Structure 1
Amino acid sequence: MAELTQNEKRLLAVLGKEEKADAPHLADLLDTTQEAVVQWAHLAGDKGLATVERIVSKEFVYTDEGKTYLKDGLPETQLLRFIHPGTQLADLQKHDAFKIGFGQLRKKGLVKVNGALVEKVLSITKEGTLRIEKPDLKLGEDNETSGSSIKADEFALRNPSANNSKTKDLIKRGILQESETVRYVIAITPEGFALAKKGLDLREETGTLTREQILSGSWKTANLRKYDVSKLPKKAYPGKIHPYQRIIAEMREILLEMGFEELYGGIVQQSFWNFDALFQPQDHPAREMQDTFYLRETLPLPPGYEKVKAMHISGGDTSSTGWGGAWKEEKAEQCVLRTHTTSVSIQHLARNPNPPVKAFCIGRVYRRETIDTTHLAEFEQLEGIVMDEGVTFGNLLGILREFYHRMGFEGVRFKPSYYPYTEPSLDAEVYVEGIGWIEMGGAGVFREEVTAPLGINYPVLAWGLGVSRIAMLRLGLKDLRYLHKSDVAFLRETPSLRQNKGGI
């Protein structure tokens, strides 16, 4: 048999005399708490030396409102006593119990309003009819009458019972509350009794050695507590950063290590920077109300906007023919909740038209999406740009491959795609064991129509990805909404440490 703790021995020694007792009594004898006694009893129960019986009992307690009614009667009882022949409704409304009591009386069919008067009504019994003139609410009378409906309520108020439907009604009305009490009865088993009869070593145990005990050597004769090294310790749940925020921080750290600088920008952006500067036509579907959150606010267009306007209409000074048609300043001035973080990147390029530029932005974006397992109306997006002399499409592939390798994805591949403001364009995919190839984001080289109006004469590599999609794969989630739920179990069980970073 496994070793007994000192507290188990003390409990068994007491139970050897008491045989069976409830937890409060044992707690008094052992000078401890009831919770401690129950815990020791369960430990002894695991060894077959004691039994723990959990007894649940229900009782009814009065709310503050119920205590008042217990003294003065239910509101309908109080009000019924106040009604006499010729009682005016206006006078009855002055009674403190009118608000609750009158509704109950009408619900039970005991009163009716006749013009300005309130009258008691006839109640039908098995024997005939009974007119309620003086409400005599003595308990124990015939429960078939409407008058005795109140008597039944009054009886339930003073004698609540789980089997009485009236008691349930009083609970619904907030007059009574059902309270559950739990008590524990602990008994010693024959095996435990035999062990207690043999005698138990109740000497005080030493669990922690002091400096003095070690120096003096007194630890050699101390009654040392025995430990079961095979038992796992109690789990500890320290405070830690949310798993989603840790993944975002990991992405940020990887890009900073790769030589990027971080950009910041407001969530409210002008349509000019969110759409027009990226060569998205003003009649593009992405600019419709079903995709974008438009705001009432407007902002004046930046200096030099005419070059962007000319690019849209005719292609400006480039070989492009533009989109043609009309371009309206008022539409470009309108503010939106940013639909992508590219609106931040393009403004950074406009302020820094000369190389080298190597920057990224991680931020929340907003779209009018139907919320489901893989779509939210607001989510995080990561955007990166690289501008320098001689950078090529091959450099873009290398940067993306390196980033995804460092994020822990070994299999990375690319396929051609289309995006309005990059050419050539691609989609990046990663391989996930058990799922297959998953699309992670798009990338490409900014078109001349984007860079020329800003005075940029060098190639700009650009790429973006959905942060939440990576988070779902890394955390093994099937529902995107889980990233934003307050689930303590999810937070506790998700490891704090990340995997070692890869790389090419």
Structure 2
Amino acid sequence: MAEELDRRILAELDVTGHVNSYDFATKLGVDHQLVVGAVKSLQSVGDVRRIHLRRFGSSFAASFQVIHVEQKRKERWETTGEGNEVAERGSHEAIVFHAVDRDRGTLQADLMKSSPNAKVGFSKAMSAGWIRLDKEATVHRKVESITDTVQELLKAIRDGRVGDATDAQLKDLKKRKLVSLVIIKSLDVTKGTNFSTSVQKLETDLTPEMLTAGNWKDKKFKEYNFDARGVLPASGHLHPLLKVRTEYRQIFLEMGFTEMPTNNFVESSFWNFDALFQPQQHPARDAHDTFFIKEPKCAHEFPMDYLERVKKVHSEGGYGSQGYKYDWKIEEAKKNILRTHTTAVSARMLYKLAQVFAEGKASLDLLHLTRLSLQDKFKPVKYFSIDRVFRNETLDATHLAEFHQIEGVVADYDLTLGDLIGVLHQFFSKLGIKKLRFKPAYNPYTEPSMEVFSYHEGLKKWVEVGNSGVFRPEMLRPMGLPDDVSVIAWGLSLERPTMIKYGIDNIRDLIGHKVNLQMVYDNPLCRLNKTTKT
């Protein structure tokens, strides 16, 4: 097939003197890349000879090639799959218009069921002034007849008559994803200085068979190109998120934190919500905000004594709180979900910490040891985690249904809001963020709570970079932690700082099924952050 294409290209050149690879592929009805390959093969036939000018004592390189090749770039408008459908059936707005009863009108709810794209069609038909909506939610026609310009334009574009559409119309059709601008890269081929319709391919390798037979003397070999770049070795590439995640992890480790295990994406509502003193009627527990698991639908294993204490603090109060005063249901707590935050992991770790303390306390009580010894049994801890969480978000340039949460937790005796602010300053300073502000906020499981803002030098404004707070007694005391042990915590996104660091303005280009893998390859191995001396 390749040799036949070579001969046909040369024959066409001999007659016309010019061949375009894309037009030639269309004419033959073959894949364009096959023609491109044949052209490249012919282009390699010939040589570059060095001409010596003895009179002037100099030399220059001259090309003696069979063909001369230039790369061409052409743009063309094409109808998309949806555009072809509209060209056949009519535009969405025209379909909606024709679905409206001429005399009595049609209820808007019924009209929305008339076609899969009725919502778009209704909006476009309203904008065009074809229909109107009365107070009873009934849609009526405002004109007797319409001209479906969109359908006519798409038919013209499909038939190659792009000139029938103005630039504004093409822009609107592209915005509606009915047409797309296709860039065609092709090769223009003309006769070379050593053109011939029958060419002998140059050998690229000296083989053992040639040496044995001795016919290498009659072969013509292609000259070595010592300036050619070698084939890039296969290698892996680190995603920007992994690079920034490694940076955050290193900061936590430098500060003496221990990483929490976060391998369970599925959590029960008990650990995700109830253990955090989040009421069962909270909007975050609605299906519009949380992904509920269909199978297995419920969890069954809980620390029952702890569960009873959580139930009591929700429904009756305790530890200085009056609770929420509602009928707490275990059926709600059993529901399995995709975790909405890694704070559920923090709750599990703090509960385990409380169990270790309780075991130590029991043994100390038997020995009748002092309060000082009991304090020695509680070991202050610093935990962190970086992992994925899931929320039923509306997808846009800054929101996805899954993202990463970075969380830091410190448990120690008599921690205050001042300790939290100090740790936050230390943490963010290691990130290169010096200017911080704190704003009071509300979280169901922290009191007091603070949103953390940093001054963005590029945007010239303060932007939110995280949330923080001191865990409430209603969350900690049912676990069994000592009364004078406080827990401070903070969290922030991994995606937002990564987008800022790498200049990415759409989160869907960073993570998800539409991510551009070329972006991963093109990103630098490391970044050098610009700093100024003070």
TM band (smaller chain): 0.5 to 0.7
Measured in 2, the distance between the counterparts of 1:372 and 1:39 equals 55
Change (3 A) 1:35 1:260: farther
Runs of 4+ aligned residues of structure 1 deviating over 3 Å after TM superposition are 32-41, 46-51, 53-56, 180-189, 232-239, 498-502
Cα distance, 1:284 vs structure 2: 0.7
Q: Which residue of 1 aligns with 2:277?
A: 279
Instruction: Give me the TM-score of the superposition, normalised by structure 1.
Output: 0.55
Q: CA RMSD in A?
A: 3.8
**482, 489, 493: which one pairs with 2:522?**
493
Cα distance, 1:235 vs structure 2: 9.5
Q: Which residue of 2 aligns with 1:298?
A: 299
SS of residue in 2 equivalent to 1:477: coil
Cα distance, 1:431 vs structure 2: 2.2
CA contact (8 A) 2:69 2:190 kept: yes
> Are residues 1:329 and 2:330 paired?
yes
Cα distance, 1:40 vs structure 2: 6.3
Change (3 A) 1:54 1:401: same
> Which residue identity does 2:268 align to in structure 1?
Q
Cα distance, 1:488 vs structure 2: 3.9
SS of residue in 2 equivalent to 1:462: strand
Question: What pairs up with 1:292-441 in 2 under 5 angstroms?
Answer: 292-295=290-293, 296-304=297-305, 305-316=307-318, 318-353=319-354, 354-435=378-459, 436-441=461-466
CA contact (8 A) 1:274 1:343 kept: yes
SS of residue in 2 equivalent to 1:459: strand
Q: Aligned residue pairs: how many?
A: 310
Cα distance, 1:407 vs structure 2: 2.3
CA contact (8 A) 1:243 1:496 kept: no
Measured in 2, the distance between the counterparts of 1:481 and 1:297 equals 32
Measured in 2, the distance between the counterparts of 1:282 and 1:378 equals 23
CA contact (8 A) 2:241 2:494 kept: no
Change (3 A) 1:241 1:40: farther
Change (3 A) 1:334 1:35: same
Cα distance, 1:384 vs structure 2: 1.4
Cα distance, 1:236 vs structure 2: 9.2
> Which residue identity does 2:275 align to in structure 1?
A
Q: Which residue of 2 aligns with 1:202?
A: none
Cα deviation digits, residues 134-159 of structure 1 (max 9, x gap): xxxxxxxxxxxxxxxxxxxxxxxxxx
Measured in 1, the distance between the counterparts of 2:395 and 2:47 equals 47
Q: Which residue of 1 aligns with 2:471?
A: 446
Measured in 2, the distance between the counterparts of 1:461 and 1:378 equals 25
Q: Which residue of 1 aligns with 2:8?
A: none
Cα distance, 1:465 vs structure 2: 0.9
**248, 252, 256: which one pairs with 2:249?**
252
Identical-residue share of aligned pairs (%): 40
**Structure of higher CA gyration radius:** 1
Cα deviation digits, residues 159-199 of structure 1 (max 9, x gap): xxxx9xxxxxxxxxxxxxxxx9968445459xxxxxxxxxx
> Which residue identity does 1:453 align to in structure 2?
P
Measured in 2, the distance between the counterparts of 1:281 and 1:459 equals 22
Measured in 2, the distance between the counterparts of 1:324 and 1:475 equals 48
Measured in 2, the distance between the counterparts of 1:477 and 1:467 equals 13
Measured in 2, the distance between the counterparts of 1:260 and 1:39 equals 65
CA contact (8 A) 2:508 2:515 kept: no
CA contact (8 A) 1:364 1:380 kept: yes
> Which residue identity does 2:68 align to in structure 1?
V
Change (3 A) 1:39 1:406: farther
Query: Structure 1: 5+ residue runs without aligned partners?
Result: 1-19, 23-31, 57-162, 164-179, 190-224
Measured in 1, the distance between the counterparts of 2:303 and 2:530 equals 42
Cα distance, 1:451 vs structure 2: 0.6
Instruction: Give me the TM-score of the superposition, normalised by structure 2.
Output: 0.52
